[in-house]
Amino acid sequence: MSLAEFALIDRILARTTARADVVLGIGDDAALLQPRAGEQLVITTDTLNSGVHFPVETPAYDIGWKTLAVNLSDLAAMGARPAWCTLALSLPDADADWIEAFADGFFALADEHDIVLVGGDTTRGPLSLSVTALGQVAPGQALRRDRAQLGDDIWVSGTLGDAAGALRLWQQNRLKVAVATLLSDDETLRERLLRPIPRVTLGLRLRAYAHAAVDISDGLLSDLGHIAARSGVRAEVEADALPISSALREQLGREGARDCALRGGDDYELCFTVAPSQRDAIHALSASLGLPLTRIGRIVEGEGVHCADADATDGGYQHFSERR
């Protein structure tokens, strides 16, 4: 079944929910939004291209979920409360079943975070999905990359490397992304690749504690490198402290798991820096969110990201320069 562009937009429109601050949503030439008085707008865009950012055979539901998740993750890393988004869709054909499944994934996450779709664009072309997400934050409260302080602890949420581990298994033909697997370790990793959980609530709560924050989309070393570069400091990471899931260690072994945790992307966990005086507060936050928060290193004078490698022959720090 093939749908004309307008029928397709109607299907998406039927799924959108209301928000009092949307004066005019989908249907006009542009949307009219009413930001909260005195707050700053936070805006971000991320695009996912088929075969580049996800395997071609990825189910439509998961593509819908991930398209929004990566953008919500950017808002989370800024400490912003999500509000509105637009969706630019490039589709090879207007398949009704595909659109419904895509919308199921997209709106499951949108509704959970009270972010509403207010417009977009629909074109024919290679499968590509681009979301622009907007959020709001009070002046001075946003979490930025350039505010890390000397002496800060470095923390990360969740576990690291799972998504990269799933991708590796997929590349080695050991895991299918198109169908759920019955093996629990495989399914854990597969879920982490296909349905990343944007740490929106964590980002909001961290406004009270964190000096700097970034979401991990390209890998810990790379993304923490952005904090180091923009804050003019050096980040020291303790490789043994990295939170690694038992599923990842089972599937890839200690070295493989550690490599995924340091260099793998697509986890969408938050990495943030906090004064050591707030350790108890961060442990309490972890308990109240039911989300592991792990201290993995500290901010010192210097530059770059350095990883204490217990296996290094000189017992010293191994240097990792951040990619640019």
C-beta closer to Mg ion: residue 8 or 262: 8
Single residue of 121, 146, 240, 311 touching Mg ion by CB under 5 A: 121
- Based on the shown chain and the rule CB under 6 A, indicate whether residue 51 belongs to the binding site for ligand ADP: no
Q: Find the shortest distance in angstroms from Cβ 9 to Mg ion.
A: 9
Q: Find the shortest distance in angstroms from Cβ 86 to Mg ion.
A: 10
Give the number of other CB atoms < 10 A from CB of residue 219: 24
Nearest to 153 by CA among 4, 321, 293: 293
Gap between the Cα atoms of 267 and 258, Å rounded = 14
The reply, when asked if residue 153 is annotated as ligand binding, is: no
Alpha-carbon dihedral angle through residues 277, 200, 49, 108, given to the nearest 10 degrees: 160
Counting residues that bind Mg ion (by CB under 5 A) gives 1
C-beta closer to ligand ADP: residue 26 or 143: 26
The stretch near ligand ADP (CB under 6 A) out of 21-29, 91-99, 137-145, 174-182 is 21-29
Alpha helices in 35-161 (DSSP H): 60-77, 96-112
- Based on the shown chain and the rule CB under 6 A, indicate whether residue 87 belongs to the binding site for ligand ADP: yes
Nearest to 271 by CA among 202, 215, 207, 196: 215
Whether the Cβ atoms of residue 192 and residue 285 lie closer than 8 Å to each other: no
Enter the tokens of residue 11.
């299907």
**Please, how many CA atoms are within 13 Å of residue 69, restricted to the half-sphere of its CB?**
25
Which residues inside 112-151 make contact with ligand ADP, applying CB under 6 A? Answer: 117, 119-122
Counting residues that bind ligand ADP (by CB under 6 A) gives 13
C-beta closer to Mg ion: residue 24 or 52: 24
- Based on the shown chain and the rule CB under 6 A, indicate whether residue 12 belongs to the binding site for ligand ADP: yes
Q: Which of ligand ADP, Mg ion, none does 119 bind, CB closer than 5 to 8 A by kind?
A: ligand ADP
- Based on the shown chain and the rule CB under 5 A, indicate whether residue 111 belongs to the binding site for Mg ion: no
Whether the Cβ atoms of residue 207 and residue 80 lie closer than 8 Å to each other: no
- Residues with Cβ within 8 Å of 321's Cβ and at least 6 positions away in sequence, in order, are 225, 304, 305
The reply, when asked if residue 45 is annotated as ligand binding, is: yes
What one-character DSSP code corresponds to residue 272? E
Whether the Cβ atoms of residue 305 and residue 224 lie closer than 8 Å to each other: yes
- Based on the shown chain and the rule CB under 6 A, indicate whether residue 29 belongs to the binding site for ligand ADP: yes
The stretch near ligand ADP (CB under 6 A) out of 24-32, 93-101, 148-156, 211-219 is 24-32
The reply, when asked if residue 51 is annotated as ligand binding, is: no
Phi, psi (deg, nearest 5) at residue 267:
-80, -35
C-beta closer to ligand ADP: residue 88 or 281: 88
- Based on the shown chain and the rule CB under 6 A, indicate whether residue 93 belongs to the binding site for ligand ADP: no
Q: Which of Mg ion, ligand ADP, none does 117 bind, CB closer than 5 to 8 A by kind?
A: ligand ADP
- ∠ CA(237), CA(245), CA(317), 5° rounding? 20
Q: Find the shortest distance in angstroms from Cβ 72 to ligand ADP.
A: 17
CA 245 to chain centre: 18
Gap between the Cα atoms of 284 and 205, Å rounded = 11
C-beta closer to ligand ADP: residue 68 or 262: 68
C-beta closer to ligand ADP: residue 121 or 311: 121
Q: Which residues bind ligand ADP (CB under 6 A)?
A: 9, 12, 26-29, 87, 89, 117, 119-122
Known binding-site residue numbers for ATP:
120-121, 145, 217
